Amino acid sequence: MITNRVRVAGIAAFLLMAAAACGAAPETATTTAAGGVNARTASSAQDFGGLDKLVEAAKKEGKLHVIALPPDWANYGEVIAAFKTKYGIEIESEDPNAASADEINAVKTRKGQDRAPDVLDLGQSFALSGAAEGLFAPYKVQTWDKIPDAQKDPNGLWFNDYGGYVSIGCDAGKIPTCPTTFADLLKPEYKGKVALNGNPTKAGAAFAAVYAASLANGGSFDDIQPGIDFFKKLKDAGNFNPVEATPATVEKGETPITLDWDYLNAKYADQFKAKGVNFQVAVPSDGVYTQFYAQAINKDAPHPAAARLWMEFLYSPEGQNLWLKGYARPVLLPAMQADGTVDAALAEKLPKVEAEPSFPTEAQTTKAQETVAAGWAAAVSG
């Protein structure tokens, strides 16, 4: 089953201790690529003399160090395997279930060490804060112009890669008529059946569900309170189920209706078919909320050419279609649909969404998180 990438705190402390225990003699990488190019300051493949020269420089380094990339999350296992096979570059994958905060901590505490992460896969708020702290190297992949402006730093410090929408998953074998909107969830036939993937004060997917509920009930990116009020109403109606939804609880019938990312629910639906569970997935039309993860390159990456080649691979049609195979929506999906490079069969499996994606700012997200932290327990307790 798919790992729930809540990425708990506490691993950060482990990383800090590991860095301290690593010794006082940091390892450093040779950053001069073929042709005298400083790989660490290269901001595009052209700086190497083209993609072939970048490949040559990356192969010379021979290694890429990553953390926080679960192999069963958004198809990362296949992404990593495909990169290794294509370029013959070893990938050291450490602490797959670490959090974005742990990645940032590792960048800071392992500077100058071969064990520092070369690249980062981050939640949006960490991408913004890391860029503000000067931790990332500017780089623009060859498909840069196809990434929407709202989904990238203009200087190339970070860029969105894959994501999804809040969705409603429903076991149609236990629910005669599956809900497709937030308004539906309040119907009496769903008493005790609506669950979240975790606590929204800690879990990203659950927090996103509250944000989506807010948008469905007169709220906005500036005001998440209507989302909290909605769940209070859901609880008062007896429909809210406090059990944390997992594939196991769905299979057992404990949480027949779950709010989660569409790429997780869609993956579950595929896995459940073999077990005779008809799991249906819908993106609620009255509360469309999306979130993408961002990629960035460590400014002090020990393998700077391999880090840049990794980005080129992720943002190539091959890499983007691998996200799609994991039911995640690649950031280049609209461009690939336009130029015919998308795997149409995989795209067809995605839950349908009519709205254009839009995103809260860091300030709006921070305010929303504070509001949820202050009001969630009272709304659903008792």
Determine the pLDDT at residue 43: 98
Pick the range with the lowest mean pLDDT from 39-43, 71-75, 214-218. Answer: 71-75
Q: Judge whether residue 99 has pLDDT over 90.
A: no
114 and 16 within one domain: yes
Which residue is listed with tokens 């989660």?
A: 260
Is residue 160 within 8 A of residue 293, CB to CB? The reply is yes
CA distance 267 to 102: 26
- The per-residue DSSP string of 278-294 comes to -EEEE--TTS--EEEEE
132 and 36 within one domain: yes
DSSP state of 108: H
Three-state secondary structure string covering 79-105? HHHHHHHHHCCEEEEECCCCCHHHHHH
251 and 226 within one domain: yes
If you average pLDDT over residues 168-194, what whole number do you get?
Answer: 97
Which residue is listed with tokens 């209070």?
A: 232
- Domain range spanning residue 303? 11-162+292-348
Classify residue 81: in a domain, yes or no: yes
Q: Helix (H, G, I), strand (E, B), or coil: what is residue 340?
A: coil
pLDDT tens-digit map of 278-333: 999 999 999 999 999 999 999 999 999 999 999 999 999 999 999 999 999 999 99
Q: Are strands 159-171 and 279-282 parallel, antiparallel or unpaired?
A: antiparallel
pLDDT tens-digit map of 101-143: 899 999 999 999 999 999 999 988 889 889 999 999 999 999 9
Closest C-alpha among 173, 129, 172, 171 to residue 153: 129
31 and 57 within one domain: yes
Classify residue 209: in a domain, yes or no: yes
CA dihedral sign, ordered 294, 371, 108, 132? positive
Determine the pLDDT at residue 11: 31
Q: Judge whether residue 214 has pLDDT over 50.
A: yes
Classify residue 17: in a domain, yes or no: yes
If you average pLDDT over residues 161-187, what whole number do you get?
Answer: 97
334 and 269 within one domain: no
CA distance 321 to 36: 34
132 and 56 within one domain: yes
CA distance 21 to 19: 5
Determine the pLDDT at residue 238: 97
Q: Which helix (H) or strand (E) holds 171?
A: strand 159-171
Classify residue 277: in a domain, yes or no: yes
Domain at 242, CATH number: 3.40.190.10
Total domains, the chain? 2
169 and 157 within one domain: no
Classify residue 103: in a domain, yes or no: yes
Determine the pLDDT at residue 203: 83
Classify residue 6: in a domain, yes or no: no
CB-CB neighbours of 61 under 10 Å: 23
pLDDT tens-digit map of 340-363: 999 999 999 999 898 888 889 888
Closest C-alpha among 297, 295, 317 to residue 58: 297
pLDDT tens-digit map of 149-165: 999 999 999 999 999 99
Close Cβ partners of 337 (under 8 Å, ≥ 6 residues apart):
347
96 and 68 within one domain: yes
Give the percent of the chain with pLDDT over 70. Answer: 91
Which pLDDT band holds residue 215 (cuts at 50, 70, 90)? Answer: very high
Q: Give the tokens for residue 107.
A: 């960048």
Which pLDDT band holds residue 31 (cuts at 50, 70, 90)? Answer: low
182 and 42 within one domain: no
Classify residue 225: in a domain, yes or no: yes
Q: At what angle do helices 100-109 and 11-21 cross, to 10 degrees?
A: 20
153 and 169 within one domain: no
CA distance 234 to 130: 37
191 and 105 within one domain: no
Which pLDDT band holds residue 22 (cuts at 50, 70, 90)? Answer: very low
Pick the range with the lowest mean pLDDT from 12-26, 44-58, 216-230. Answer: 12-26
Conformational region of residue 97, where left means phi above 0, alpha means psi within -120 to 50, and beta covers everything else: alpha
255 and 156 within one domain: no
Which CB contacts under 8 angstroms, 24+ apart, belong to 243-251?
A: 243/195, 244/195, 244/196, 244/197, 244/198, 244/199, 245/195, 245/196, 245/197, 246/1, 246/4, 246/197, 247/1, 247/2, 247/271, 247/272, 248/1, 249/195, 250/169, 250/171, 250/277, 250/279, 251/275, 251/277
Q: Are strands 63-67 and 90-94 parallel, antiparallel or unpaired?
A: parallel
Classify residue 3: in a domain, yes or no: no
Give the bridge partners for 279, in sequence order. 171
CA distance 231 to 206: 11
Give the percent of the chain with pLDDT over 90. Answer: 77
